Each structure stands twice: as structure tokens, then as C-alpha cells.
Amino acid sequence: MVIDTAPIADAKVSALADQFAREGFALAKGLFSPAEVEEIRALFTKMHAEGVPGYYEPTKPRDGVENPDDPLFKYPRVMMPHRFNQRAKDYMLHPKVADHLRAFFGLEPVATQSMFYFKPPGARGQALHQDQFYLLVEPGTCIAAWTAIDDCDAENGAMYIVPKTNDGPVVCPQTADRNESYTSHFVPVPKGHKAQLVEMKAGDTLFFNGSLIHGSGPNRSKTRFRRSFISHYAAGNVRKISSSYHPLTRLDGTTYEVTPQDSGGPCGEGWKGSLH
């Protein structure tokens, strides 16, 4: 299938860029076509069924999940699929995503990371956090492009964002409730702010600033997955990033090398950012 490269109206992208600057996020509805959504869904369904060589080790924890009965043990997220699957790389470098990123960064972007989350029925969510805490991009920050592969709502664990926290500091997180979150990090909502649910349709893409506080609740549906394809990007003037994200990828698909980050970020020199 050919990826849709039809241009997006400049006014539409400009309006989203204005919102992104004010609020720290912007929702591009229907950015991925139904055919593209179906191809991504089929790609990772097949990958899960067949396995990725050297990726899943049945006897070891997956994403820190040790219980084989846990839905996230059965459906672990796929990290960095662009490094071993060309179609995943193509979607990470999707031209329509790139058009938005150029408007948000004001510079040519480079890709730093790709992920696919299955989030099956019964799966825990991910507590509120900040992506820049892990990526430690310098200068500036990262931007996430979070594309829904299923319709998302409160029942099946849609995203929550805390608007206008993009200008706040990246903080050393507290400990999350592991009954609700599969990760241990938690960033509380700052005083005067409120978490907002973002309902999405399959094919919608939520862009958000690396400092924006965001997360998701558990999937309480009995039957519905909440699959998502997520990539992170930095501006093309990036000089440093956490070592786990090397090498970066230019939008033409070539490799882009930068210096591994030597800062521990808000948690001090003992902390080094890693894949999350």
C-alpha cells in the first residue's frame, strides 16, 4: 500500500501550530487514512503472532511485567520497530506527520524513536509522565506523534493530557500506583491545572510537547484493544539525546548521529534517560 502524501492545507496546519504553541498539544484528526490504519494494525498483529527474532524471551519479564497472566505480558509493546521493519520506518517518517512537525518545531525534524502499544482488554495504563525526562533532548525538547489505531475513549484507556504544562519544568517523578500503571514513574498535576481526556478516532494523531504531562488509564473494556503507533522527534539542531535513542533518523531515512546525553536531568547525574 502507498502512504498518503497528499498535501494538507497550510491554514489547517498553521491553526494546529498556534494551538500547539499555546497549549503544548494539538490533535490532527484523520491524519492517517483508514487503509493506512489497517495496514499498521495488520503489520503489528502479524509481528505479534510470528514474533520478532531475539525480541521476546518467553521466560523473562516484558516491560518489567513478570506475571504471564498479565495482558501486557501477553501483548508487550514493540520498541523501535523502525530499526528492523521498513514499513514501520516508513510510517515513522510519514510525510503528513513531518509537515506538522516542521510547523511545530520551526525546523526540519529528525526521528528519535518508534513504538507500538497493543493495550489489550484488562491492561494497565501508564501514569502521568513527561517524555523529555527520558529523551533528554538538548537543545529544546522532543515532540511525540501518538496515532490511534483503534478508537480511544475512557473505557479502553484513552490518553490524558495536562494542557499548558509544556512550559513547566521537567521534574523527577514520584512513585506510581502499580495496580493502575505498568510503569513506576508518576508526575502529579501542578496546582491550577487539570488532566483532560482526549477521545480519538482511529487515524487521529495527537502531537504533544516533551514537557507536557500526559498518561493513560487502564483498559477497562472486556473486548476492545487500544492500539497506538507512537514516534518521537527532535528538531534538526539537536546536539544531545539519551544514549538509548541512538542513532537518529533523518526524514530522508538516513542516519543522523548526535552526542549521547551526559546529563542526568532533574534526577541528577546518577540518572540516565532510557526507552520508556
Task: Please check whether residue 203 is in contact with residue 31, taking contact to mean a CB–CB distance below 8 angstroms.
Answer: yes
The predicted model gives 213-230 an average pLDDT of 98
Reply yes or no: is the peptide bond before residue 139 cis, omega within 30 of 0.
yes
Domain 10-51+80-261 adopts which CATH fold? Jelly Rolls (2.60.120)
- 93/251 Cα distance (integer angstroms): 6
Comparing CA positions, the residue from 101, 98, 82 lying closest to residue 5 is: 98
Question: What pLDDT was estimated at residue 9?
Answer: 72
Q: Where are the domains of the chain?
A: 10-51+80-261
3-state secondary structure of 256: strand
**CA distances from residue 18 to 15, 22, 24, 206 in whole angstroms, order as listed:** 5, 6, 10, 15
- 181/172 Cα distance (integer angstroms): 17
Q: Which of residues 269 and 240 earns the better pLDDT score?
A: 240
pLDDT interval class at 5 (50, 70, 90): confident
For the chain, the maximum distance between any two Cα atoms, rounded to a whole number of angstroms, is 52
> What integer best gives the mean pLDDT of the chain?
92
pLDDT interval class at 155 (50, 70, 90): very high
pLDDT interval class at 265 (50, 70, 90): confident
Q: In this predicted model, what pLDDT tens digit does every residue of 159-212 receive, in sequence order?
A: 999 999 999 999 999 999 999 999 999 999 999 999 999 999 999 999 999 999
Task: Please check whether residue 148 is in contact with residue 110, taking contact to mean a CB–CB distance below 8 angstroms.
Answer: no
The predicted model gives 11-38 an average pLDDT of 97
Instruction: Say what the pTM is.
Output: 0.94
DSSP state for residue 64 in the 8-state scheme: T
Question: What pLDDT was estimated at residue 61?
Answer: 66
Task: Please check whether residue 150 is in contact with residue 227, taking contact to mean a CB–CB distance below 8 angstroms.
Answer: yes
Q: In this predicted model, what pLDDT tens digit does every residue of 26-76 receive, in sequence order?
A: 999 999 999 999 999 999 999 999 887 656 565 666 666 888 889 998 999
Whether the per-residue pLDDT at 249 is higher than 60: the answer is yes
